[in-house]
Structure 1
Amino acid sequence: MRSWRKTEAGWLSRFHAWLVVTFRWFVVLGWVAAGVAAALLLPARTPQADLGGFAPPNSRAIATETASAKAFGFPILSRTMIVQRDPDGLPQATQERAAETAVAVARHEAGDVGPIAAVVPVVNAKGVIPSREHDTTVLTYVFTKPGTTFADEVGAAHTFAREHVDQPDDHLVGVTGTVPAQVAQTRILYDHLLLLEALTLVAVIGIVALKFRSVMAPFVALVTAAASYFLAVRVTNYASGFVEGGAPDELKPLVLALVLGIVTDYAIFYLSSMRSGLESGLDKVAAARACAAQTGRIVLVAGIAVAAGSAAMLVARSGFFRAFGPVLALSVLSAVVVSLTLLPALMAIVGRGLFWPTRLRPRETPAVARAAARVMTVRVVALVLGGACILGLTTLATHVPRLHLCVSFVASLPADDEAHTAAQAAAAGFAAGVVAPTEVLLQGDGVGADKDRLSKLGKAIEGQPGVAGVLSPSALPDQVGQGALVTEDGRAARFLVVLDQDPLGTTAIRDLDHLSKTMPALLQQAGLGGVRYGLAGDTAVSSELVAATNADLRRIAIAVLAVNLILLMVFLRAVVAPVLLLACSLLALAASLGCLTLLFQDRLGHEGVAFYVPFAASVLLLSLGSDYNIYGVGHIWTRARHTSLRQAIAERIPETSGAITAAGITLAASFAMLAIVPLRQFRELAFVMGLGVLIDALVVRGVLVPSLLSLLGGFSAWPRRLRTEATEDETSVS
């Protein structure tokens, strides 16, 4: 009988295995107590974060909006609006009621309107805001008191619409804007979170049950995964309170998919090792100790790789991504701690019952699998297979440069959502950009004194690409424009610019960037050369966010690659192989992003993908790739201490491929479940993460890496030295 003490794990791994298995019942009871404490002491939900909170530090757009509100005494931009529309024309009485209601609110004669400070109705009448139609649409912009939460603002707008836009001829469509869209996304997310959790757990049970043909194995994996997820959610909710701006709601499903996926991966690795120990004749305690010692160190290093890769997001400058890093890292660490303790404890308790009703007996790797692995190590075959993989993945990767980023909130909603339908109605009556107009602020001595120059500038702005219309001071009567668009002292003036595309989409962001670059020339041509200018609004914030994302992506990619490279070098004690493995991971990532471009932009016709999707996919896929590197190549390296590298590959690939394939399918299924949430960004994330994991597990780890290692031979272990040929005795034994 092979003893657990004869494993190749170090003394620390063996001590950990002894401790966890010996005190297995205390470990289980301890985690039950920890779960109860977490439920009582840690928060179940985090506060919602807003787009402005994720803008880059020293955001010019936010600074401009603040300066405008300070100069004029009130803001001109609103993120919430009530839409009324009749394509055949709104009655004059309806338009007049909207104006009368606004006056009543201003005079505090409209009753209790909650946190609403003012409402400003805008009709698509001639001579006001340029529009596609006339007298068909009324937009009532809602302004709330400082400190009002998003949920309260949207709730107040709905209540106001229900109580004050309630006549049969008012033709109320609904409430929309970037704030209602964000609130709607949060509602949809939480409405589907329970279903997402349930279906993901069902997928975990089904895959593990099929892999091990067992009833108890999936139960043990389920208990561990559920405990890990529960702990991760509570811990990250608590930690989110210390994150500036709060943690984005998008992290909830991502944490679910990540934690359940990697814990199931680790469970598959543990269960595979446990089954091998039991089949070799060990009793349940010895098998659990050997399993915990051998697999535990792999899980620890793999988990650290994913957590460290996620934590590398802290080098980002954008608050949005700085919130991602700690939350994902804490989630992974929570899952690793549970996996390293609860899993081996449960396996030691259940023993052979883990694999019931399957009978455990010594098994040999199928001859076909052994022959295929040996053929793969032949240099000519390895060259053909490796070249084919590289060619195919590179072809897909060539589409990545066409990938565009956007920050669309409304466009991400289901077509039947109120915020979406109301935005479409507003766009039909005016233009798409009316949902979130852009403010142009001018500051300088006497800037508001010359109406002709302001009028000339307004016409020049209106002639720029993507601009549907401009509301300039010269377009309003003096008694209205003075104070609203021009300060009384004439030191500041502001314009409202309506774009003709989704204001948070790729095209609108590009058009606004063009306007920003041409503004100095436009000011010069209008005779306002010495005037300071700034752009404010959600399109401007989105432009900064996309630009910061591109800069952060390069910065974080370097950090993630460095972290994973160092961990692989330490674990494998080599230089060449870790560089090779990371290069393969990069190629798989690029191929996945290329497929994302082909499907969502080329096939489905989307302007771009959510700005954080390629970002999150890059960090997670590179880090998760280290899991399979450490498990698969780690086994090859261990065997290569006693035989040639080619022989080690031929022996270990058949042994580890089953576990890696099952783990990859499980993790891919876990991420694919994100598509259940009917929001565009989650379907993008589900696709790229699911496909990326499958490419990494099946193509890269199953074919490309073994082929390249076979071609490089012992040089892949540099500066270590490995034998390149097996002895006759080793070959015959294998």
Structure 2
Amino acid sequence: MFERVAELAIRRSRLILAVAVALVAFMGFLGGGAFTKLLPGGFDDPNSQSSRAAEVIDDKFGGETNLVLLVSSPDGRVDTPAAKESGQALVADLKGEKNLANVYSYWDTNLADLRSEDGNQALVLAHVKGEEAELQENAQGVIDAYSGTYKDALEVQAGGGTAVSADISTQVVSDLVLAEAIAIPLTLVLLLFVFGSFVSALLPLAIAVIAIVGAFALLSVLGSVTEVSNTATNLVTALGLGLGIDYALLMTSRFREQLASGASVGDAVRRTVGTAGRTVVFSAATVAAALASLLVFPQYFLRSFGYAGVGVVAIAAISALLVMPALFVVLGHRVNKGRMPWAKRQQPSVQASVWGRMARGVMRRPALTALPVLAVLLVAAAPLIGITFGTPDERVLPEDAESRQVTAMLRENFKSNDAAALHIVIDKAVAKEGLNSYASELAALDGVIRVDTSASSYSGGGSAPAGAGNPALGRPDAQQITVVSGLTPKSDEAEALVEEVRAVTAPAGTEPLVSGTDAELVDAKDAISGKLPLAIALVVLTTFVLLFLFTGSIVQPLRALALNVVSLGATLGVMTWMFQDGNFSSLLGFTAQPMEVAMTVLMFCIAFGLSMDYEVFVTSRIKELHDQGEDNESAVANGLGHTGRIVSAAALLLAVSFFAFGTAKITFMQMFGLGSGLAILIDAIAVRGVLVPAAMRLLGRSAWYAPPFLKKLHDRIGLSEGGPEPVSAPEPSYAKTSTKV
């Protein structure tokens, strides 16, 4: 296969480049509409009890509260005649909005829970209509129309789920623009230092652009046929830029190495495609396999990253395999044009390179050098012992976001939080006696302040009705019960209340469904924990199979998986120490909170895939030398001597594209960027630089072991390198400073 690709590039190089330019232009046009098709949210399991309850409430009761307007009176009291008159006028206007339903407030219900304890603020609650695709637009229209000063009489601020989602979506776009503005120029500068040549430095950026543009086109198409999260755009940018550069860097380095050894342009292209091209294909397969595991989860937030990730990896790999060889043929020796002043000196030989010397030093005393590194990584992983999980809320936003400020005031100034109430729906007729008995048991639960039904209202702890019910909560064929608590939303106590509410004996012949903010959190955690074993099994199995096909050994995949567990544990431990425990929160500007469960799973899959990316980079050269007759230690030392600089440079460049998201103001995107970048550096330096040569030295010949029947299988279906190549070929003249990358 690789021989045919190389020959195609040599014979039809200009045609390939012309087609590539046309495709990029088409994909750019198609991808330009991606943002209008992508959706906010996506953290809930559509098959969960809370989601099913929300569907029934939408269908029969007009929907749950998802918009909260916090209203303040300039006079300081919301009970004055003037404030009351203005408040009633505001409510009347809101009830006239076509995109709102279930509008109610303190002024038309006289519920004390809808007035702040100091009497200076009141709440208007409503449900914004619309499917997921139009919900944000409808909410933003209402927020824009009513936020601020209302008729010179009231001050209105917007909060609630739709307001938080709108603020997150707006901030995601701003964060993406800033991250790109940082990552792309910095990446170009680093590429100049790595290659020491302006032309060579531009080649990886060309592949990165193709990968990003292509992935946005893919998201645009997918957004037309299924639900895709808008936060997937961040992954497209970071992963497209990073992997495009990774694969192009590997291909370009090998091509320049072949030219420097005296090969013709055609032979250099053939050898580059047969070796580095093969590595790119296997590397992309391992990364794609890790990201494809996200497709098993029911939340479209995670599935979106699976779509985007697999798409951008495939496009980056195909571009590197087809476009890069065509560029090499057209450029030839001009690939070294535009040499930088610092690139005039030759690099040291493979045997004298920093990575070659490091590998030999490690293998002389493998246990002595590996144990301290393992100890540091295990200490870094220690915070995982106390890890807790949550879902995104207003705290992921900057403190000056209006929706976050409203939620903070709800918690501080109001005895209860009606916006975070649990909503129970029974999708059939219920006798009044059974409904009252059920509500009475709910009111007796710890933390409950009020239970409202269509028949009666119960105070927390009370067994007898405390007031008249709300007729809007009843239908001939359905009943809704609202459970209002004084517990902090998404706290352990609030989650426990969900379980207690679901355990209360229901009216005879009914199956109540419970929804609400805390119910959604419980269901999201259950959905992910239920699918996580399958996702991990798929990642491990596909990785094992691919690495076996790549190496012909069953020990190499096991060694790679074991080291991956250590480096991933350290990464997740550090992120827990920072984002859950609050370390560096003042410096980075985030609010400590439980680890976002979906983003933690995503970071695991991304980091795992990228670790295998560098595993393939390093192992490919080691195996190539081993197959040419070198003993295990020499193959490891010389293989790292060849690839260590490439891996460290690629890791730094990829880490930069992720670290750029450390500037994000959305906390979970900040965690994702910093965590992914850290995982890359840990893997490239600690694992590839120390643990891999130590493990290979300790394993010895057994590192390449496979049972005879598997060896026969590998001989039949495994892919092998191209023909032999002198291992003593001199290195190309790269930037001297790149040896330090």
Shift of 1:68: 4.2
For 2:501, give the aligned amino acid.
M
C-alpha contact 1:279 1:360 (8 A) present in aligned 2: no
Which of 694, 715, 739 aligns to 1:707? It is 694
Does 2:238 align with 1:257? yes
Query: Residue 511 of structure 1 aligns with which residue?
Result: 493
Does 2:100 align with 1:90? no
- Closer/same/farther in 2, CA of residues 19 and 27 from structure 1, 3 Å limit: same
CA distance in 2 between partners of 1:181 and 1:703 (Å): 45
CA distance in 1 between partners of 2:49 and 2:55 (Å): 10
CA distance in 1 between partners of 2:39 and 2:631 (Å): 55
Shift of 1:131: 6.9
Shift of 1:23: 2.0
Encode CA deviations 1:529-552: one digit per residue, 9 max, x unaligned. 876433112321232112212222
Shift of 1:485: 3.6
Query: Residue 3 of structure 1 aligns with which residue?
Result: none
Query: Residue 205 of structure 2 aligns with which residue?
Result: 222
CA distance in 1 between partners of 2:176 and 2:277 (Å): 31
CA distance in 1 between partners of 2:613 and 2:178 (Å): 28
Relative to structure 2, which stretch is displaced further, 589-598 or 275-284? 275-284
Shift of 1:145: 4.2
Query: Residue 725 of structure 1 aligns with which residue?
Result: none
Encode CA deviations 1:438-495: one digit per residue, 9 max, x unaligned. 213467875534797466435413x23xx56555632599996241245579x73512
Query: Residue 582 of structure 1 aligns with which residue?
Result: 561
Secondary structure in 1 aligned to 2:228?
Answer: coil
Encode CA deviations 1:547-573: one digit per residue, 9 max, x unaligned. 212222222111111111110000000
C-alpha contact 2:212 2:240 (8 A) present in aligned 1: yes
- Closer/same/farther in 2, CA of residues 593 and 22 from structure 1, 3 Å limit: same
Does 2:528 align with 1:539? no
Query: Residue 726 of structure 1 aligns with which residue?
Result: none
- Closer/same/farther in 2, CA of residues 42 and 672 from structure 1, 3 Å limit: closer
Query: Residue 551 of structure 1 aligns with which residue?
Result: 530
TM-score by length of 1: 0.86
CA distance in 1 between partners of 2:291 and 2:727 (Å): 43
Secondary structure in 2 aligned to 1:594?
Answer: helix
Query: Residue 588 of structure 2 aligns with which residue?
Result: none
Relative to structure 2, which stretch is displaced further, 290-299 or 369-378? 369-378
Query: Residue 276 of structure 1 aligns with which residue?
Result: 257
Shift of 1:372: 3.6
Query: Residue 335 of structure 1 aligns with which residue?
Result: 316
- Listed as ranges, the matches of 1:624-663 within 5 Å are 624-641=610-627, 642-663=629-650
C-alpha contact 2:429 2:476 (8 A) present in aligned 1: no
For 1:513, give the aligned amino acid.
E
Query: Residue 8 of structure 1 aligns with which residue?
Result: none
Query: Residue 717 of structure 1 aligns with which residue?
Result: 704
Does 2:331 align with 1:345? no
Which of 491, 500, 518 aligns to 2:487? It is 500
CA distance in 1 between partners of 2:301 and 2:238 (Å): 20
C-alpha contact 1:204 1:264 (8 A) present in aligned 2: no
Which of 151, 159, 175 aligns to 1:176? It is 159
- Closer/same/farther in 2, CA of residues 362 and 182 from structure 1, 3 Å limit: closer
Query: Residue 240 of structure 1 aligns with which residue?
Result: 223
- Listed as ranges, the matches of 1:590-605 within 5 Å are 590-602=569-581, 603=583, 604=585
For 1:707, give the aligned amino acid.
A
Query: Residue 193 of structure 1 aligns with which residue?
Result: 176
CA distance in 1 between partners of 2:11 and 2:443 (Å): 80
Shift of 1:694: 0.6
Encode CA deviations 1:310-347: one digit per residue, 9 max, x unaligned. 12222334443333323321121011111111222223
Secondary structure in 2 aligned to 1:367?
Answer: coil
For 1:581, give the aligned amino acid.
A
Secondary structure in 1 aligned to 2:634?
Answer: helix
The alignment yields a C-alpha RMSD, in angstroms, of: 3.2
Aligned-residue identity in percent: 20
Give 4+ residue runs of structure 1 displaced > 6 Å after superposition. Answer: 123-126, 476-480, 528-531, 730-734
For 1:711, give the aligned amino acid.
L
For 2:143, give the aligned amino acid.
H
Relative to structure 2, which stretch is displaced further, 41-50 or 137-146? 41-50
Secondary structure in 2 aligned to 1:612?
Answer: helix
Secondary structure in 1 aligned to 2:481?
Answer: strand
CA distance in 2 between partners of 1:589 and 1:13 (Å): 33
Encode CA deviations 1:75-134: one digit per residue, 9 max, x unaligned. 46211122113695335222343234434655x5xxxx3423452113699863287614
For 1:515, give the aligned amino acid.
L
Does 2:389 align with 1:405? yes
For 2:444, give the aligned amino acid.
A
Encode CA deviations 1:565-586: one digit per residue, 9 max, x unaligned. 1100000000011111111011
- Closer/same/farther in 2, CA of residues 205 and 479 from structure 1, 3 Å limit: same
For 1:545, give the aligned amino acid.
A
- Closer/same/farther in 2, CA of residues 430 and 362 from structure 1, 3 Å limit: closer
- Closer/same/farther in 2, CA of residues 478 and 698 from structure 1, 3 Å limit: closer
For 1:287, give the aligned amino acid.
A
Does 2:666 align with 1:679? yes
CA distance in 1 between partners of 2:502 and 2:172 (Å): 43
C-alpha contact 2:294 2:535 (8 A) present in aligned 1: yes
Secondary structure in 1 aligned to 2:395?
Answer: coil
Query: Residue 471 of structure 2 aligns with which residue?
Result: 483
Query: Residue 11 of structure 2 aligns with which residue?
Result: 22
Secondary structure in 1 aligned to 2:214?
Answer: helix
CA distance in 2 between partners of 1:660 and 1:134 (Å): 61
What 5-or-longer segments of structure 1 have no aligned partner?
Answer: 1-11, 723-729
TM-score by length of 2: 0.85
Encode CA deviations 1:637-695: one digit per residue, 9 max, x unaligned. 11112121012112222221111111111111111111233110111101110111111
- Listed as ranges, the matches of 1:385-424 within 5 Å are 385-424=369-408
Which of 345, 352, 363 aligns to 1:367? It is 352
Query: Residue 376 of structure 1 aligns with which residue?
Result: 362
For 1:388, give the aligned amino acid.
P
- Closer/same/farther in 2, CA of residues 57 and 151 from structure 1, 3 Å limit: closer
Does 2:308 align with 1:324? no
For 2:165, give the aligned amino acid.
Q
Secondary structure in 1 aligned to 2:112?
Answer: coil
C-alpha contact 2:106 2:114 (8 A) present in aligned 1: no
- Closer/same/farther in 2, CA of residues 338 and 431 from structure 1, 3 Å limit: farther
Relative to structure 2, which stretch is displaced further, 571-580 or 437-446? 437-446
CA distance in 2 between partners of 1:347 and 1:432 (Å): 67
CA distance in 2 between partners of 1:162 and 1:718 (Å): 68
C-alpha contact 2:564 2:611 (8 A) present in aligned 1: yes
- Closer/same/farther in 2, CA of residues 226 and 274 from structure 1, 3 Å limit: same
- Closer/same/farther in 2, CA of residues 232 and 159 from structure 1, 3 Å limit: closer
C-alpha contact 1:600 1:684 (8 A) present in aligned 2: yes
C-alpha contact 1:307 1:328 (8 A) present in aligned 2: yes
Which of 126, 129, 140 aligns to 1:155? It is 140
Query: Residue 208 of structure 1 aligns with which residue?
Result: 191
Query: Residue 45 of structure 2 aligns with which residue?
Result: 56
For 1:414, give the aligned amino acid.
P
Encode CA deviations 1:363-402: one digit per residue, 9 max, x unaligned. 5236373444323222xx1111222222222222232232
Query: Residue 214 of structure 2 aligns with which residue?
Result: 231
Query: Residue 656 of structure 2 aligns with which residue?
Result: 669
What 5-or-longer segments of structure 2 have no aligned partner?
Answer: 460-464, 586-590, 712-725, 731-741
Query: Residue 569 of structure 1 aligns with which residue?
Result: 548
C-alpha contact 1:124 1:134 (8 A) present in aligned 2: no
CA distance in 2 between partners of 1:532 and 1:327 (Å): 39
For 2:600, give the aligned amino acid.
P
Query: Residue 722 of structure 2 aligns with which residue?
Result: none
